[in-house]
Structure 1
Amino acid sequence: MTRIIETKVFDSLSSTAKRQYVLGAITDVIESFKHNPDVRQFLKNTLAIEYKDYVFKSKTLVIARTVRDINSRIIDDRSYAIKVLNLLQSFTSEASNAPLFKNFKADEEAPTTKKKNNSNDKLNKWLKGLS
């Protein structure tokens, strides 16, 4: 997941670059979620955006709709880009949100599952027994 830049650096960007940065950051944050229901909660709680159920079946569709909606809001209200950037900074910096992301490594490793034997494994075992 990309690191969100500071507000001072963001203010020095041109308006087009600000819009592009915010849209890219939103895309990156949404792609970083492990599960789509987490994306729904993020959009609802952080950005106050809600979509119908069918949108959340595909992250690509969620990203497309979110980018389109945020882009139109930024064009209408220039200060919205700074508001979204601040919301992203606060969301990504909270330690309680870390388990939601794909690259999160827990201290405890998940138990490994035992591989089931398929027909090839059984055949190989049988052939070894013949030799």
Structure 2
Amino acid sequence: MNNNMEILGLINQAKQSKTLNNKRILLFGIFTHSILSKEFMNKNSNIPEFIHLTLKVEFKEYVYQSRTMVIARVSRIIEKMEINEINKTLDVLNHMFTEIENPVNTTEKARKKKNSVLDTIDNWLRVIDNE
């Protein structure tokens, strides 16, 4: 199973989740994985378009030079979102990942790497489901 399908699975889990906190946690994970992944974002210059398309916001240029800084800004935005905004964002992400097989150029090396971010998200889901 490729990362694109795993992301779509996470998006579907978030859409089906009944609580706002669970949706928010999954959305954090989806954005974190998408931004940190060299498979989806092999250049930092691809990140502004992704952020603009999904969240309808723009950051200053210096923010995009650091993926972790982008994630921090995105996390703040997600934390303030209402459920209808989260659902709209999930719909946009779902459309992006289903219509575009590879959102940004992929590399074979990135595809073969073990993905600890997805493992972490899976662990979060196990904790959430057991609550």
Per-residue CA distance 1:23-63 (angstroms, 9 max, x = gap): 11111111121111101111123321100011011000001
- 1:89-108 counterparts in 2 under 5 A? 89-95=94-100, 98=102, 100-103=104-107
Bigger helix fraction: 2
Using the TM superposition, give the Cα deviation of residue 8 of structure 1 relative to its aligned residue in structure 2, in angstroms.
Answer: 7.6
Alignment counterpart, residue 39 of structure 1, candidates 36, 47, 70? 47
Q: What is the TM-score normalised by the length of structure 1? A: 0.65
- For residues 52 and 70 of structure 1, the distance between their equivalents in structure 2, rounded to whole angstroms, comes to 18
Higher relative contact order (CA 8 A, sep 6+): 2
Residue 65 of structure 2 corresponds to residue 57 of structure 1: yes
Correspondence 1:78-93 to 2 at 5 A: 78-93=83-98
Task: Choose the corresponding residue for 1:21, options 12, 22, 26.
Answer: 26
Q: Is the contact made by 1:34 and 1:102 (CA closer than 8 Å) also made in structure 2?
A: yes
Aligned CA RMSD, in angstroms, stands at 2.4
Normalising by structure 2, we get a TM-score of 0.65
Q: Which runs of 5+ in 1 are unaligned?
A: 106-131
* Corresponding letter in the other structure for 1:56: Y
Q: Distance in 1 between matches of 2:7 and 2:99?
A: 13
Number of residue pairs matched by the alignment: 101
State the shift of 1:67 in Å.
1.2
The answer for unaligned runs of 5 or more in structure 2 is 110-131
The answer to whether the 8 Å contact 2:35/2:67 transfers is: yes
Distance 2:79 2:44 in 1: 22
* Structure of greater Rg: 1
Q: Tell me the distance in 2 between the aligned counterparts of 1:69 and 1:9.
A: 17
